[in-house]
Amino acid sequence: MKAMLRKECKLAALPLTYFFLAFGFMALVPGYPILLSAFFVCLGLFQTFQTAREANDLLYTVLLPIRKADAVKSRYLFCAMIELAAFALAAICTLVRMTALKDAAAYRSNALMNANLVYLGFLLLIYGCFNAVFVRGFFKSGGGLLKPFLLFGLLAFLIVGVGEALHFIPALSAANAFGFDHIGLQAACLAAGVCLFALLTALAEKSAEQAFEKVDL
């Protein structure tokens, strides 16, 4: 599996995918729906899937002396690696905003979602949905891109909309807390995001393995 992951990183991956990791820094941008950073990171992954498909990478991979399930697993590992790298960048920027910049006027006057642990939980939810909807759909169809990505896009923008609207509900205004205010709620949302990301990714990967075994390339 180590060799397969190396192949994904060095042979299949498009340089643009690594460049799009920089969208993790969007957590520092005031006056912008920062949850969209997760969508852009997934868009970078989509470009790798598209380029690899045009190069017949999937057929090349299954012709190697490996199980078809290993082709699925290695691509999922690659996606998770990119997603978690972007998440780490966003987490660093978020901690900067929660500490050194928690009282900055540009952020305090921002009507949109604040960068805190709730934001990080939502990021992980979007990444989990990408793995469950797009990546699973890609392997289920044996290389289909448009339909699963459109479905993911609709779901991602729905999550962004919910995240942006959440703190406008009086009872849920604490979701937009600054610094370490309401840290219990923030931590709970982050924990929920971690669990959902892990669960969605694990279940989707197993389902994709089973579906891909039935695909005749």
Chain segment 146-163, per-residue pLDDT in tens: 999 999 999 999 999 999
Across 82-110, average pLDDT: 96
Residue 112 has pLDDT above 90, yes or no: yes
Pairwise CA distance, residues 37 & 27, whole Å: 8
Residue 12's pLDDT is what? 86
Determine contact, residues 160/169, Cβ cutoff 8 Å: no
Structure tokens at 40: 């852009």
Where in the sequence is the domain holding 147, given as residue range(s)? Answer: 2-25+34-213
pTM listed for this prediction: 0.96
Residue 217 has pLDDT above 70, yes or no: no
Pairwise CA distance, residues 190 & 120, whole Å: 6
Say what percent of the chain tops pLDDT 70: 100
> Number of structural domains, the chain?
1
Q: Per-residue pLDDT tens for 38-95?
A: 999 999 999 999 999 888 888 788 788 888 899 999 999 999 999 999 999 999 999 9
Q: Per-residue pLDDT tens for 119-145?
A: 999 999 999 999 999 999 999 988 889
Nearest to 106 by CA among 28, 171, 43: 28
Across 102-106, average pLDDT: 92
Mean pLDDT across the chain: 94
Across 158-171, average pLDDT: 95
Pairwise CA distance, residues 63 & 59, whole Å: 6
Alpha-carbon torsion, ordered 38, 40, 46, 51, to 10 deg: -150
88-111 residues labelled b (16+ CB within 10 A) or e (exposed): ebbbebbbebbeebbeeeebeebe
Helices 36-54, 68-98: crossing angle, 10 deg rounding: 150
Residue 11 has pLDDT above 90, yes or no: no
Pairwise CA distance, residues 211 & 141, whole Å: 8
